Amino acid sequence: MKKIKEPKNLTPRIKWLRDYYFQGVERPWNNEYKVFTTGLPHDEVYNEIDYYIVPETYNFFNTFQYGLKQIGKKIETPKDFYKKSIAERRAFFLKEAMTKHVPLDILPGDLLCGANFNLFISHCHTKKEAAMRSKILYGKGGLRERTIEFHDRGFGNCGATSGHLIPDYPTILKYGFKHIIEQIDNKYKSLSAIERRGSKGAQLRAMRTAAEIPVELAQRYSQRLSELAEKEENAKRKKELLTMSENLKVVPYNGAQDFWQAVQSLWLTHMLVMSDENYPGPGVSFGRLDQYLYPYYEISVKQGMTREFMKEILECMWVHCNTAYDAQIKVGSNQGITAGFGQLFMISGMGENGEDLTNDLSYLLLEVIDDMSPILEPKPNIRLHRNSPHKLLEKIADMIAESQGAPFLLNFDERSMAGLLRQARKCGLEEYINEKNVWNYAAVGCLENTMTGNDRSGTVDINLNLFKAVELTLARGGDLIEYKDQIWGKPYKQKRHSADTGDSAKFESFEEFYAAFEKHVKFIVENIARLYNESDYVRAVFHPTPYLSCLVKGCIDKALDITQGGAELRFVTVEGVTFATTVDSLLAIKYLVYDKKICSMQELIEALKNNWEGYEKLQAIAKYKAPKYGRDDDAADEMAEKVMKLWAEETWKYKTIMTDAQLRPGMLSWNYWISDGFILPASPDGRKKGQFLSNAICPSNGADTKGPTSNINSVGKALGSRKPDGDYLDYVNYLPNGASHTITLSPSLLRDREHKQKFIALLRGYVENGGTALQINSLDVDTLIDAQKNPSEYRHLLVRVTGYNAYFTSIGRELQNEIINREIHNKY
């Protein structure tokens, strides 16, 4: 049996911290949510909109809403508190909580400060504001009810979600918060008296208060460290504590002077984003860490800091990142809820002229990943391109060979940049995204491409089940089956949602069917955009994040909170879910009803309504005889590209009303492709209700019978392939957000030097023919089956599921079986 990867080369300090972290609930210290309220009866601390994209939590909204505020600690507010704007109140409240009420804990041996950051704090609403918000969300016909019904009926889900962006950390590292405060003050001075009294003035005052939080917190930590240093008997540790104390006298107020200060500044700045948003790191990305930390690395190398010590500093940051999971430490986890927080960073990638930017720090970071792994956070993405050095690829191959699945995700520059340039041209944003700067892109969340420090692309805010359009086409714009309330089991009334495109049984050609399908695709995009607007509105009006606004370019200039559209680049990404299920269903309809005339449309609809029961022969034909996407079959892949273009084009037609954010397309399915498989009806491709839908841009489970290269080629074709009028060079990419692609390779492909070279070539081939992001699993079946049987012995077994790492034993049996099936399939 294959051995599970173990951490290695850890110093006693890091080993202790890492082991301590994995003690979990047994630990005396943890970073559990700390809750603070104004103490007023109407006060709320939980914002359920943050969780509208997590259907597993719908059951618990009331529990969180009422339970959390009961355990809240009261913070006194000043007399004139409610005369100020919500943003000012919230900034004040956060500052009070962080600097006066949250303990200044420092773990033994730790080289970085900033331990407690998981917060739920008061919404700081007046009674009237709280009532207005309640009216929108709760009760009959409220946003909550409609969001749940929307999901229960298989349309997908949406909600204005936290994180998923790259704050402007490079600016803080370079110039410090001093620079931010100066900018805010200058902007404030430039306002007219009327403007100062209005929302702009209020917003800048709120941001001014928020920008002081890290500065004040650093001062307090510095003081505490010098006290600890005084009591410390170990001379070496004493010196460390004193240096840490000195570091915090410099950063994050000023620019960092060396590597240690830079990492300290980065961590403190970053953790407060999570505090501000009251969400533990949902896709908040560090961006191109090996690039903007490199100058500090060079300085410290010159000053004689050892590689070992730099690794220890980074590894301390690793431990800090992981304590985000302490948020719900006593609640446990289910289907990846807690495994899905995701703080991300990038390594390597190209520069302006296609040259490779891998540096010593890139390799140091890879060592850190290798030594610490398996561990969940932060999640590395490695950027590859045509000029990626062989040394880097060899390191990648070695690390994958050793781990159970790649301990990182791979991002492909050429195809990714093509998508971002396409987006810029579509929206006239060439000023912000162009050939001169697109190379500096990075991913947020799991693999979603954005620009750095000025871009909120709302990358998981809208998750749309494309297959719903097939259902609507079959059922004259209505439901094909009876949908039920997933909590109470009560059936919803069957109804027509979209236009009546006529009895599908009377369509005489596939073209006629497809024309109706197009109408319903237009409808589902418009429909979800409409619903999203409501949560976008609630967030903009009631839930400002003034601290985060300090870290995103555009917010100071416009004196506008990021939640209100302050960022220079504003998008909301529609993540298309069930892509291959949709394409394969269309291919099956064409094959069964029109080309081969194996059954009538009426028969097919009856079969789907009966979940294929009594229609096993027809189901087998649909499954095994009808063409499928993912086999490098040009005719099938042409359908894939056609569907991709169709739905992607629709998204560009919408902007949010409140925040002027442009909708854009992407493909990431998180775990919806599993759970929604139990909601949506049987599909014409032979899938039964209750079986999984397809994942992101991947071919349907088991459909990729022609091996990895064919699978990769199909994905590249679905994204637009390579054409003379490409978006970047000759690369076309319809999805600026990028698309999640997973392949599972047999470990034998990495068994020796010769085969590792072949694997490296496969990655280089992916650059030419593939998509934007790839995750590689290389698990063997026996390990997985054994882990399923004996979870306690495999607590650390890590797998990657749709772009996020998860502990195999915690992902639920269905997902486990899915991964096992995939592996068995690939062995065939």
Binding site residues, another protein, CB under 8 A: 616-618, 620-621, 623-625, 632, 706-710, 713, 747-749, 751, 755, 757-758, 761-762, 764-765, 768-769
628-656 burial, b at 16+ Cβ within 10 Å, e below that, comes to bbbbbbeebbebbbebbebbbebbbebbb
Instruction: Give the Cα separation of 646 and 820 in Å (integer).
Output: 34
- The residue type found at 266 is L
Report the alpha-carbon distance of residue 727 to residue 733 in Å, rounded.
Answer: 7
Quote the least distance from Cβ 768 to another protein, whole Å: 4
* Cβ proximity to another protein, 305 vs 749, nearer residue: 749
In the block, which residue shows the tokens 């909120």? Answer: 456
* Residues 6 or more apart in contact with residue 776 via CB below 8 angstroms: 400, 405, 406, 410, 742, 743, 744, 745
CB-wise, 66 or 624, nearer to another protein? 624
In the bound state with another protein, the residue whose beta carbon lies nearer, of 314 and 621, is: 621
| Cross-strand pairs, 410 | 382, 774
How far apart are CB 441 and another protein at their closest, in Å? Answer: 24
In this complex, which beta carbon is closest to another protein, that of residue 484 or of residue 764? Answer: 764
Q: Least distance in Å: CB of 755 to another protein?
A: 6
- CB-based contact 562:545 (threshold 8 Å): yes
Q: What angle do CA 685, 687, 688 make, to 5 degrees?
A: 140
Integer Cα distance of 406 and 192 in angstroms? 55
- Residue with smaller CB distance to another protein, 779 or 806: 779
* Residue 818 and residue 701 in contact, taking contact as beta carbons nearer than 8 Å: yes
- Six-digit token string for 345: 């960073």
Cβ distance 819 to 701 under 8 Å? Answer: no
Nearest to another protein of 131, 729 (CB atom): 729
Residue 751 CB, shortest distance to another protein, in Å, is 6
Rounded Cα–Cα distance for residues 750 and 476 (Å):
51
Task: Tell the burial category of 101 from Cβ atoms under 10 Å away from its Cβ (0-12, 13-18, 19+).
Answer: middle
Please say which residue, 165 or 719, places its beta carbon nearer to another protein. Answer: 719
Q: Which of 402, 398, 388 is nearest to 753 (CA)?
A: 398
Minimal distance, residue 592 CB to another protein, in Å: 11
CB of 307 to another protein, least distance (A): 33
241 CA to centre of own chain: 35
- Give me the residues paired with residue 743 across strands: 776
How many Å separate Cα 466 from the centre of its chain? 20
- Of 105 and 768, nearer to another protein (C-beta) is 768
- Rounded to a whole number of angstroms, the CA Rg of the chain reads 26
Q: How many C-beta neighbours within 10 Å does residue 237 have?
A: 15
What would the two tokens of residue 362 be?
């890139």
CB 115 within 8 A of CB 107: yes
Q: How far is the CB of 769 from another protein (least distance, A)?
A: 5
Beta bridge partners of 574: 462, 665
Residue 64 CB, nearest approach to another protein (Å) = 47
Residue 226 vs 757, nearer CB to another protein: 757
* Least separation in angstroms between CB 770 and another protein: 9
Q: Residue 803's closest CA among 156, 251, 187, 336?
A: 336
Closer residue to another protein in complex, CB, 134/746? 746
Distance in Å, CB of 330 to another protein, minimum? 44
* Residue number, 409 or 618, with CB nearest to another protein: 618
- Nearest to another protein of 488, 828 (CB atom): 828
Alpha-helical (H) ranges within 428-509 are: 467-474
Q: Which of 430, 616 has the CB closer to another protein?
A: 616
Burial degree of 512 (CB within 10 A; 0-12, 13-18, 19+): middle
Q: Shortest gap between Cβ of 789 and another protein (angstroms)? A: 22
Overall size of the chain counted in residues: 828
CB nearer to another protein: pick between 516 and 763: 763
Nearest to another protein of 295, 765 (CB atom): 765
Q: How far is CA 494 from CA 153, 256, 479, in A?
A: 10, 61, 6
Least distance from C-beta 626 to another protein, angstroms? 10
Q: Which is nearer to another protein, 123 or 756 (CB)?
A: 756
Distance of alpha carbon 398 from alpha carbon 474, whole angstroms? 49
Q: Which is nearer to another protein, 560 or 621 (CB)?
A: 621
Q: How far apart are CA 343 and CA 447, in angstroms?
A: 11
What is the closest distance, in whole angstroms, from the C-beta atom of residue 383 to another protein in the complex?
18
Show Cβ contacts of residue 555 under 8 Å, excluding neighbours closer than 6 positions: 207, 549, 561, 562, 566, 567
Give 71 or 620: the residue with its C-beta nearer to another protein. Answer: 620
Find the shortest distance in angstroms from Cβ 493 to another protein.
37
Spatial contact of 94 and 213, defined as CB atoms under 8 Å apart: yes
CB of 426 to another protein, least distance (A): 28
Question: What letter represents residue 603's amino acid?
Answer: E
Minimum distance from CB of 625 to another protein (Å)?
A: 6
Contact call for residues 551 and 168 (beta carbons, < 8 A): yes
Q: For residues 184 and 43, what is the distance between their CA atoms, to the nearest angstrom?
A: 30
| Smallest distance, another protein to C-beta of residue 762, A | 6
Largest CA distance in the chain: 87
Beta carbons within 10 angstroms of residue 545's beta carbon: 26
Q: Is 715 helix (H, G, I), strand (E, B) or coil?
A: helix
Q: In the complex, what is the shortest distance from the CB of residue 210 to another protein, in angstroms, rounded to a whole number? A: 49
Query: Pick from 316, 407, 326, 408: which is nearest to 15 by CA?
Result: 316
How far CA 4 is from CA of 7, 373, 477, 709, in Å, comes to: 10, 11, 50, 28
